[in-house]
Structure 1
């Protein structure tokens, strides 16, 4: 799993407002343009780490939540130093770095 996929999984799991392609793209495009979040979401969904949090018509934006497998991956594979080092490689990482650090320190 890539660091980007792990970060998106973390954001979906820990931040209720980061559960749609729109909110994730709006955030991530500031640091890694183009973010290609759709590709990341498809990969996470295909391996069963996220799922739709509710069934919506195709005309409405889907929202996601982490699955039990996704939560297990976060517990076993998430390394704070490695994740923050990855974020530092992105363009203008300040806000994302602080946000991720707070999320990781909280849990």
Structure 2
């Protein structure tokens, strides 16, 4: 049975965890019985132990959001590859210019 925890103040710490002010689900074996009792007794936390059937499954909105994020990651990866290639070409050009600048000229 999952354990749902919501902090009344963001990043409130208890049992070694900075709890969010958004509800977070933890597996039932995440906390010892003593830790769970401590969490439930803390007035700064809202702790619920629920049945698996009561936890909402990801819906179409979540799947759409994941698809959009996956597409964005792909776009950004392509952009990163392009910028990296441009950077490497510029480094090569700069090295060639520095090398040419060190060559003595006929006037020297």
Bin of the TM-score, shorter chain as denominator length: under 0.3
Q: TM-score, normalised by structure 2?
A: 0.24
Q: TM-score, normalised by structure 1?
A: 0.24
* Higher fraction of strand: 2
Higher CA-based Rg: 2
* Higher fraction of helix: 1
